[in-house]
Structure 1
Amino acid sequence: MSNKIQLKLEILTDKKVYEIEEPIRIKILLKNTSNDKLTLTFRSAKIVDINLLDKNKKLIKRWSEGKFFAQMINDLTLEPNETVEKTITWNVFRETLVTPGEYYIEVFVKAFQGEVSSNPIKISIINKKTN
């Protein structure tokens, strides 16, 4: 966390093991941990971004790459201790070549007031099961 914004960002995936081509559902929880109302201002409609990292935590793919977001000033106001939740389904396999192995997912929020990121969570990718 930077610039003294009091936010907590947590992420959960619907599973820990995914088959190649299977979409990843990511639940994002953003909490205002302060006792004051907090308004975050964004440069576009994009409030969060997601990184797919390899086992060495090197960036492989960013969710927002190749996507277009409305260019507008966008505010998000959180009451004290309020949590907002968003779920994103990301079919990263349509966007980049991913082979079986261990990966990490991390999410970050970047507003004019500062930036906060989640702890990376580990997922595993396996070959598609054949029947």
Structure 2
Amino acid sequence: MIFHKYPYKIVEFKIKKGKTGRKMKKKLSLKKVKTTHSKKDDKVMVTRFSVSPAELKKGDKVTIKMTIRNVSEKLLKHIPWQIVKNKKILCHGVRNEVPSGDSFTVSVSWTAIKGNHFFYGDADPKNILKEPKIKQFNNLPQGADRRVK
């Protein structure tokens, strides 16, 4: 386990006035705590997300792709994923038995309709892999806005 640089938290902090009202006493106690966020807590990472073609017309076939990598130090039995358009899931699934360091790509096709559309992908959307919140930022890549004329 790797500890943060300052693995302490403030347990108590009090400021008291003395009898004369001038002097102040400070009491500060520190408690050493174990921190559990280390590199090995990171499980999956979205390494690529694309929506193509970049310029869309009504009726065009659009391909949305997402590549997910197992960045943990062990085989992951189940990696859930989803691809979303305008807050509605276009496609979702689970990839099983992904060895450490391996990647896989998922894709979905969509026929373009007129309007503004926002696409994004998400690895482990319900955090079944139990990554700490600080490590989940790389599970959700920046999405892609597309306007169909």
* TM-score of the superposed pair, with normalisation by structure 2: 0.52
Give me the whole-angstrom Cα distance separating, in 1, the residues matched to 2:96 and 2:42: 13
Question: What's 2:89 paired with?
Answer: 62
* Residues 1-131 of structure 1 aligned to structure 2 (within 5 Å): 4=41, 6-9=43-46, 10-40=48-78, 47-53=80-86, 59=87, 61-64=88-91, 76-91=96-111, 93=113, 98-99=114-115, 101=116, 103-110=117-124, 112-114=128-130, 117-127=139-149
Q: CA deviation at 1:118?
A: 2.6
- The answer to which structure has the higher helix fraction is 2
Give the number of the structure with larger relative contact order, counting CA–CA contacts within 8 Å between residues 6 or more apart.
1
Question: What's 2:29 paired with?
Answer: none
Give me the whole-angstrom Cα distance separating, in 1, the residues matched to 2:143 and 2:83: 12
Give me the whole-angstrom Cα distance separating, in 1, the residues matched to 2:99 and 2:145: 32
Q: CA deviation at 1:114?
A: 4.8
Larger of the two Rg values belongs to structure: 2
Structure 2 portions without partners, runs of 5+: 1-40
- Contact 2:45 2:123 (C-alpha < 8 Å) held by counterparts: no
Distance 1:49 1:92, change over 3 A: farther
- Contact 1:14 1:26 (C-alpha < 8 Å) held by counterparts: yes
In structure 1, what residue type is equivalent to 2:99?
E
- Residue deviations 1:99-122, cap 9 Å, x none? 2x4x32111234743586432332
* TM-score of the superposed pair, with normalisation by structure 1: 0.58
Give me the whole-angstrom Cα distance separating, in 2, the residues matched to 1:24 and 1:18: 8
RMSD over equivalenced CA pairs, Å: 3.0
- Contact 2:76 2:97 (C-alpha < 8 Å) held by counterparts: yes
Alignment length, in residue pairs?
A: 100
- Contact 2:51 2:65 (C-alpha < 8 Å) held by counterparts: yes
Identity %: 9
In structure 2, what residue type is equivalent to 1:106?
Y
